[in-house]
């Protein structure tokens, strides 16, 4: 079968596509990229000019295609070809890669593609090499305040998946916290209370003892004063966490009224 190098041109004679193929491929104006199709639709198939040169072998036709594309691009002619010729769309040039990248970013990733990607990765732990690569790529990266805010908004909107909640519950069932973890938790609670406007002394050092036994806070249970959170909790038969929640919301624990007073006030 004879091979041809060919040109598709606008009615004014300006080339917009260079190709290689059999005679049927030369005359057929479909099956190319979107840009080629847009030009054909703009002028109409009957108005597109087609020029071809028959070659003795397919290899010569490929070389001619590459040469014509290179010559036209060097002359400033804008072509629809996605590559420099000779290999279809398998190995696009740098200019085409940039154009495809920009189009992909503008188009975005479909929900179906995201779902397929997530399903493919689910249940597959990262190898040590992958973990090292991720760690190395993240080192030295400092997120801006705007970036952090966007991450926070996205996380709150997305919420916590049920699978993650169940996994966390299973991981923590029957596990006791270390003293360091307990101290971190207590400090976090105190800091949260300070930010909410509570009359709490600022915590500047790591707590050595249970925070609910600190003499900075007393609890009233039905009007009876208890000097520590722990003592109040024992009186009610509830946990200190339940009292903390009640002070913040209902002020009722197991039908008992609780209130906070500052020692020395």
pLDDT digit string, tens, across residues 120-134: 878 788 888 888 888
Final residue in a domain of this structure, among 54, 88, 122: 88
Averaged over 56-75, what is the pLDDT? 90
Identify whether 106 is part of a domain.
Answer: no
Final residue in a domain of this structure, among 88, 103, 123: 88
The CATH number of whichever domain residue 223 belongs to comes to 1.10.10
Q: Is the pLDDT of residue 197 over 90?
A: no
Provide, rounded to the nearest whole percent, the portion of the chain with pLDDT above 90.
21
Identify whether 207 is part of a domain.
Answer: yes
Q: How long a stretch of residues is the chain?
A: 265
Identify whether 118 is part of a domain.
Answer: no
If you average pLDDT over each of 64-68, 119-123, 133-137, 256-260, which comes out highest?
Answer: 64-68
Identify whether 164 is part of a domain.
Answer: no
Per-residue confidence (pLDDT) for residue 258, from 0 to 100: 87
- Sign of CA pseudo-dihedral 33, 39, 44, 49: negative
Provide, rounded to the nearest whole percent, the portion of the chain with pLDDT above 70.
83
CA-CA distance, 188 to 128, in Å (whole number)? 33
Per-residue confidence (pLDDT) for residue 203, from 0 to 100: 38
263 versus 17: the higher-pLDDT residue is 17
Per-residue confidence (pLDDT) for residue 232, from 0 to 100: 86
Q: H-helix or E-strand containing 21? A: strand 15-21
85 versus 105: the higher-pLDDT residue is 105
CA-CA distance, 165 to 162, in Å (whole number)? 5
Per-residue confidence (pLDDT) for residue 4, from 0 to 100: 93
CA-CA distance, 157 to 81, in Å (whole number)? 43
The tally of CA atoms less than 13 A away on the side-chain side of residue 112 is 0
- Bridge pairing between strands 224-226 and 252-253: unpaired
Give the bridge partners for 142, in sequence order: none
Identify whether 26 is part of a domain.
Answer: yes
DSSP string, 51-90: EEEEESSHHHHHHHHHHHHHHHHHTT-----SSSSSSTTS
Identify whether 110 is part of a domain.
Answer: no
Query: What value does the mean pLDDT of the chain take?
Result: 80
Would you call 259 exposed, middle or buried from its count of C-beta atoms within 10 A (0-12, 13-18, 19+)? middle
Query: Which 8-state DSSP code applies to residue 213?
Result: G
Averaged over 150-162, what is the pLDDT? 84
Total-model pTM: 0.37
Instruction: Show the domain range for 65.
Output: 3-88
Identify whether 132 is part of a domain.
Answer: no
Identify whether 120 is part of a domain.
Answer: no
- What is the separation, in whole angstroms, between the first and last Cα of the chain? 102
Per-residue confidence (pLDDT) for residue 265, from 0 to 100: 47
Q: Give residue-wise pLDDT tens across range 198-228.
A: 544 433 333 334 344 344 468 888 888 887 8
Structurally, the chain folds into a number of domains equal to 2
- The Cα-based distances of 135 to 121, 130, 150, 202 in angstroms read 19, 9, 22, 35
Final residue in a domain of this structure, among 88, 118, 143: 88
């Amino acid at each position: 079968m004879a091979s041809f190098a060919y040109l598709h041109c606008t009615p004014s004679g300006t080339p917009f596509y260079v190709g290689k193929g059999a005679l049927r491929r030369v005359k057929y104006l479909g099956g190319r990229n979107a840009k080629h199709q847009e030009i054909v639709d703009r002028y109409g198939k009957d108005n597109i000019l087609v020029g071809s040169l028959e070659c003795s072998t397919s290899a010569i036709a490929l070389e001619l295609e590459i040469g014509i594309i290179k010559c036209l691009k060097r002359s400033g002619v804008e072509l629809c070809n996605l590559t420099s010729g000779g290999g279809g769309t398998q190995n696009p040039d740098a200019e085409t890669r940039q154009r495809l990248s920009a189009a992909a970013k503008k188009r975005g990733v479909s929900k179906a593609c995201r779902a397929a990607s997530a399903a493919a990765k689910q249940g597959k732990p990262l190898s040590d090499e992958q973990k090292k690569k991720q760690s190395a790529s993240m080192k030295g990266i400092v997120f801006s305040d705007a970036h952090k805010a966007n991450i926070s908004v996205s996380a709150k909107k997305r919420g916590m998946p049920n699978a993650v909640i169940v996994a966390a519950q299973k991981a923590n069932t029957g596990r006791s916290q270390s003293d360091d973890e307990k101290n971190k938790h207590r400090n976090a609670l105190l800091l949260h209370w300070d930010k909410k406007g509570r009359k709490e002394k600022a915590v500047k050092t790591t707590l050595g003892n249970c925070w609910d036994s600190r003499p900075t806070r007393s609890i009233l249970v039905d009007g009876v004063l208890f000097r520590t959170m722990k003592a109040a909790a024992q009186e009610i038969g509830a946990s200190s966490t339940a009292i903390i929640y009640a002070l913040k919301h209902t002020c009722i624990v197991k039908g008992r009224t609780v209130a906070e007073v500052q020692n020395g006030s």
